[in-house]
Amino acid sequence: MKSLLHHHRLKLTALFLAANLGLLLHLAAGSLKAVADWVWLDIVGEGGSTVLALVWLGLILKSRPAGRVTNLLAIGLSCVFFSWWIDLLDEFIRLPDSITWDHWLESAPMPVGLLFLTYGMYHWHHEQLAISQQMEKRERLFREHRLFDKLTPLGGADYLRKQLELSLQQSAREQQPLSLVVVDINGFDRINQRFGHDEGDRVLQAMTQLLLLNLRQQDLLCRLAGDRFVVLLPNTGETLAAQLAGELREAVGHLAHKSRQHGERVQLSATVASVMALQENPENLLQRLNLALAKAKRPLALSA
Amino acid sequence: MTVPCPWYECDSRFIAAHQQPATLIELCLSRGIDSHRLLRGTGLFVEDVPKADTLISPAQFLTLIENAERLLGADDSSFLFGQRLLPGHNGAASQALALANNLQQALELLGELRALLSPLLSPRLLLEDQHAYLYWLDSCGAGSQQRFLLEANMTAVVAMSRRLGGEHLPWQCHFRQAPPRYIEQYWVNLGEDLHFNRPYNLLRLPREYLTQPWPQTIQSTAQVACQQARQQLQQLGTQASLLDTLQRWLLRHVRQAPNLEHAAAAFAMSPATLKRKLHKHGTSYQEQHDQIRMLVALYLYQLKGYSNDEVAAHLRFSDATNLRRSFKRWTGLAPSALLALLRG
């Protein structure tokens, strides 16, 4: 709340002053209505709209970084709020018939505000396209922020399951192969022990960036659990999946991650495995992928 | 038949807040959880946590766990907590664990020092010809937090064995619950050998892995740490919870088929008091007795190869039919059906 007031002090002050000025003008020119003359339905309807406009403004200012699109939306919503506010004042204050400026005050800001809003939304759309491009390889087909893991941030296991369900249907429909690759960091527990769990979290974040860089545009990276990542590869057969898995393993081995505290290199390596989807459900496929990983890990456990 | 040592109950304050509870609090804070919301209802204040003399009760710890689980709202909370649990930061007890000669010694210490290392869920080690079994029973009435505790404690043992022994061990995990929605957390933290809908919660390991020497042992330091931990336990004045003590007593006297009156006499209290105390921990004498009889029956069937008649005689059932009926009530299946399931 504090940062909101801080960033948008000017806008909010201006709106506050304008609303007060409107109120003072009305009080100066008109007289208060008796309570008996109040029309409750209008008061609730117009008052509710006014409050809602203010809530929208607050949400927009709070949820968006400051900038051009935010300003356009804020101006638009401020005008809408002002227009409804003046409308609401009518319910309490009676102005003499000779006065006409109140109609202007009430009606003029509304179309202006709506134009600003429309223009702002149009640019918001373009901004969203630009942001979606950054989400490439992190989300496909649908968005659900509640299924995203807060640390990395990637889709979690539930997001992966939903995606798998859709992708399996799609691949069956289009007669295209679908493969999965799993990437598991070796000795992640040792990293946590040696460098602390905070550094372990940073390793996971670095791994996320690294893996994303090594994927194709249509691939999807999810964090299954802990230090285990899964890549969904649409239109990809067994051989290509195995090749991509090998590339990811090499990329992890070459990542020279530095610890925050002493800046020393954290040696990383990963075990990878891949499977191609047969006619099966997501749960079965994930199970098979997990067993393939366990098999790939076994010689490692014996040699350790 | 009396029980000599005193026990702790769910409202006895003896858990050092700066040890396991602090580990959970730190985990939550590192995930951006508000400390006031986390500690709401626990009777604990942030500024008291780092103090050496702040003690909380199992019930308070359980409330903390409930809050943490709700606020973190993630599937991996219990596993992250478990990874931090053992050997952990419990002073001498943790040091003794970290310096143990091998896994067997560590697991025996874990059992002996359970009031310090695992106050809410008591671990028991069972050694047989082929395998070692480590199983857990609720010792403070964990209620809906039982799953969290079990996941954390199993993860802790698996992670500790890997950390101190330096290799992945072929643990087999058995759970009473059905497969969870977030099975991937089990894969990553406990391995692939998972079995659900079992009559017990346990870890199984071939015995040869228990005696493989651990690299970082320092004999003299380990001995001193053990002594210190035992002293600490003595100062605590308690080694196990009421439920834990009762379970062990039932196990010892299972062949006499004791009833509530016998148990109350052994615990030097009236049957009504024992009943009330068990009720406070969300359980009853019947439930505890059934649980132990089921475990003993399974032990006799599976590891000793007893027949229905022999088990019935051992547990003082009038005949095999009666045993089968009770067994079905405990597990939902007749002995033959359950054993077939466990073998398959």
Same domain, B101 and B58: no
Chain A nearest C-alpha distance from B231 (Å): 28
Same domain, B88 and B211: yes
Chain B nearest C-alpha distance from A301 (Å): 6
* Residue A138 or residue B307, greater confidence: B307
pLDDT in tens, A33-43: 888 888 899 89
Q: Do the domain assignments include residue B201?
A: yes
- Mean pLDDT across the stretch B169-196? 93
Residue in A156, A227, A304 nearest the CB of B167: A304
pLDDT of residue A265 exceeding 90 = yes
Q: Do the domain assignments include residue B3?
A: no
Q: What are the tokens at A5?
A: 């007031």
Query: Chain A residues with CB inside 8 Å of B30's CB?
Result: 197-198, 201
Q: What are the tokens at A238?
A: 């067994």
Query: Into how many domains does chain A fold?
Result: 2
pLDDT of residue A299: 65
Identity at A218, one-letter amino acid code: Q
The span from the CA of B190 to the CA of A231, in Å, is 22
Is there a contact between B121 and B138 (Cβ–Cβ < 8 Å)?
A: yes
- Mean pLDDT across the stretch B301-330? 93
Which residues, 6 or more positions from B218, have their beta carbon under 8 angstroms from its beta carbon?
B99
pLDDT of residue B217: 72
| Residue B155: closest C-alpha in chain A | A189
Is there a contact between B115 and B239 (Cβ–Cβ < 8 Å)?
A: yes
Containing structural domain, residue A110 = 2-134
Question: Are B83 and A189 in contact (CB < 8 Å)?
Answer: yes
Q: In which band, very low, low, confident or very high, does the pLDDT at B3 lie, cut at 50, 70 and 90? A: low
ipTM: 0.82
DSSP state of B213: B
Q: Do the domain assignments include residue B58?
A: yes
Same domain, B251 and B228: no
Among A69, A102, A134, residue at a domain's last position: A134
Same domain, A288 and A151: yes
Q: Do the domain assignments include residue A140?
A: no
Residue in B159, B187, B192 nearest the CB of A189: B159
pLDDT in tens, B23-55: 999 999 988 899 999 999 999 998 999 888 899
Is B47 exposed, middle or buried (CB count within 10 Å of its CB: 0-12, 13-18, 19+)? exposed
Same domain, A19 and A110: yes
pLDDT in tens, A237-264: 999 999 999 999 999 999 999 999 889 9
Identity at B291, one-letter amino acid code: Q
pLDDT of residue A31: 87
Closest CA to A160 of A242, A220, A204, A216: A220
The span from the CA of B152 to the CA of A12, in Å, is 49
What DSSP letter does each residue of B295-306 carry, written as one string?
Answer: HHHHHHHHTT--
| Residue A184: closest C-alpha in chain B | B188
Same domain, A177 and A279: yes
Q: In which band, very low, low, confident or very high, does the pLDDT at A210 lie, cut at 50, 70 and 90? A: very high
Same domain, A118 and A160: no
pLDDT of residue A267: 93
pLDDT in tens, B101-113: 999 999 999 999 9
Is there a contact between B2 and B263 (Cβ–Cβ < 8 Å)?
A: no
Question: Are B184 and A228 in contact (CB < 8 Å)?
Answer: yes
Q: Do the domain assignments include residue B61?
A: yes
Same domain, B221 and B98: yes
- Residue of B173, B187, B192 for testing the chain A interface, max A β-carbons within 10 Å: B187
Containing structural domain, residue B270 = 242-343
| Residue B87: closest C-alpha in chain A | A193
pLDDT in tens, A68-127: 899 999 999 999 999 999 989 988 888 888 888 888 888 889 999 999 999 999 999 888
Same domain, B185 and B273: no
Same domain, A104 and A213: no
pLDDT of residue A64 exceeding 90 = no
Q: CB-based contact (8 Å) between B163 and chain A? A: yes
- Residue of A287, A289, A298 for testing the chain B interface, max B β-carbons within 10 Å: A287
Q: Do the domain assignments include residue A139?
A: no
The span from the CA of B44 to the CA of B64, in Å, is 9
Is there a contact between B277 and B9 (Cβ–Cβ < 8 Å)?
A: yes
pLDDT in tens, B232-252: 888 888 889 999 999 999 999
Query: Chain A residues with CB inside 8 Å of B185's CB?
Result: 225-226
Chain A nearest C-alpha distance from B95 (Å): 15
Same domain, B314 and B193: no
Same domain, A153 and A289: yes
Identity at A63, one-letter amino acid code: S
pLDDT of residue A5: 65
Same domain, B115 and B228: yes
Same domain, A197 and A272: yes
- Residue of A290, A291, A302 for testing the chain B interface, max B β-carbons within 10 Å: A290
Q: Do the domain assignments include residue A282?
A: yes
Q: In which band, very low, low, confident or very high, does the pLDDT at B90 lie, cut at 50, 70 and 90? A: confident
pLDDT in tens, B117-143: 999 999 999 999 999 999 999 999 998
Among A114, A134, A154, residue at a domain's last position: A134
Same domain, B100 and B195: yes
